Amino acid sequence: MAATTVTSAIPNPPVLNQNNYEDWSFRVKLYLLAEDLWDVVEATTEPPKPEDGEAEFKAWRKKDAKALILIQNNCGSANYSLIFGTKTAKAAWDTLAEKLEPAQEELVPLVPQEDLNINPTSNDGNESNTSDFNEFALHQPFIDNVAEGDWDLAKEYLSRNPEAIRERGSLSGATALHLAVSLGYVNMAKALVELMTEEDLEIRDANGLTVMAHAATKGITQLAKCITEKNKKLLSLPYPPENFIPLLTAYYLGHWELARYLYSVTPLEALLQDNGRGGAEIVSESFRAKNFDIALDLLRRCPNLALAKGYSGLTPLQMCASIRSGFLSGTHLKFWQQWIYDRIHVQPGSTDDIRINVENVEDDPISESDLKVCSGMGILRGLVPNPCNLFGINHIYKMKWTHERTSEILHSMCEVVKGMSLKQMQESVVQAAIFEAIKQGHVEFVFEIFRSNPVMIGLTGEMGRPCFSLPLNVVKKMSISFSMN
């Protein structure tokens, strides 16, 4: 039986300590979400037991083990003792939070507590079902209407009290619009946007988040369009805790429709500020997310982003060198799988219309015209409902599609390598990326760099060792690649 590969390390995470738990947990949670593992960590119910069904229990146990390994391998050696012996990912996560999460400082209300109507009741004396939002001293009825999703009553209240639209909660700092977005009332939120000024839309809640930040987090494209039409400045305003802009949030969380829209309207300068950190992060994240259209277009517009450091401290070139799934040399195929792989045709990626046509989606890239190998299986279609799935062709296609897109990204990044001298490469991020690729055995990466700038052959590593004096198997693969090309 084939061994299961567990990605147990997050690329260059911050080292967890007493002062950065929030930053660390934010990054690790995003990674667990991306790997579809967060549900076992935040579980609010008892996990399945063997008697509940063997298949369900084994599936849960596998996901829990993956999540636990990720937490253990990324909490730092100094904190490992805190979770040593814990049996589940949830137990490990909760223990680290208990030990390292900073105590919440008591917020100073914007309005004195005695002026707040903390526990309003309805006319019949029963407690209101909107008690979670009782922090609006002046216009609580309006907020109750919004919380209950009753736009007719909310609109009628605003006609008499137009200033209510910008009142902020004394604790949350939120406006009615923040609340509507958080509750997913899209039509109501759009109506509120129409009634607000540009300055109103820039109001931040107590966490420093604008309504655009909330829309990006929830992935609401319609609302993001509505807000952008009223105030384009919000596209470039960074917010805590990572100083992301909305495009980065949508990209990180996998809201691809929204990400493509935001990329089409976000000023390029917003991705190039802070030494290009935001733009570099998008390119780097594309390798993990396996969504390359935005990154490829961005690199073609700004090739220098290949050498800019993202939020992780690594450059896109270094991230590309370290991703095993990006290259065929990082994949082990059986003979028959290799035979299928060699006969699959993948159309070149196109980004010509991405800044205009945000419906140009790559999420499900497989098309019948690409699966040329399937045409030889027509005889099986009468016997097998879906021979492409049965023989793993769809999976192999996705693999090759990823390899081809990674190759396109790498080719674009190599534009900045072409004019570099050996001295400029030595002790640079380019050298670090090349040696990482050699360590991983990524022949394709090393060959593309060599083809772009042959002087890299003279790079030396520790103790002055030439780069090609390292793994012999890589040198052999390089020789084969050179002869084939």
Q: Three-state SS for 106?
A: coil
Cα separation, 14 vs 328, whole angstroms: 30
What is the chain's mean pLDDT, rounded? 80
Residue 210 and residue 202 in contact, taking contact as beta carbons nearer than 8 Å: yes
User: Looking at 36-40, 83-87, 381-385, which range is the least confident one?
Assistant: 381-385
Overall average pLDDT of the 366-377 stretch: 48
Q: pLDDT digit string (tens) for 120-156?
A: 444 444 444 454 567 788 999 999 999 999 999 999 9
* Residue from 449, 419, 451 nearest 432 by CA: 449
Residue 41 reports pLDDT greater than 80: yes
Is residue 472 scored above 70 in pLDDT? Answer: no
Residue type, 142: F
Tell me: pLDDT of 116 over 60. no
What does the pLDDT read at residue 240?
85
Out of 82-86, 92-96, 223-227, give the one with best mean pLDDT.
223-227
Distance CA(232)–CA(198), nearest Å, equals 9
User: What predicted TM-score, i.e. pTM, was given to this entire model?
Assistant: 0.68
Query: Hey, what amino acid is at 189?
Result: A
Confidence category of residue 253, pLDDT binned at 50, 70, 90: confident
Alpha carbon distances (Å) from 214 to 56, 153, 180, 361? 35, 24, 10, 23
With H, G, I as helix, E, B as strand and everything else as coil, classify residue 255.
coil
- Pick 260 or 389 by higher pLDDT: 260
147-150, long-range: CB within 8 Å, 24+ apart, which pairs?
Answer: 147/179, 147/183, 149/183, 149/185, 149/188
Instruction: For helices 151-160 and 186-195, give the axis angle rounded to 10 degrees.
Output: 20
Burial class (CB in 10 A: 0-12, 13-18, 19+), 242: middle
CA-derived radius of gyration, the chain: 26
Q: Per-residue pLDDT tens for 419-442?
A: 899 889 988 999 999 988 988 889
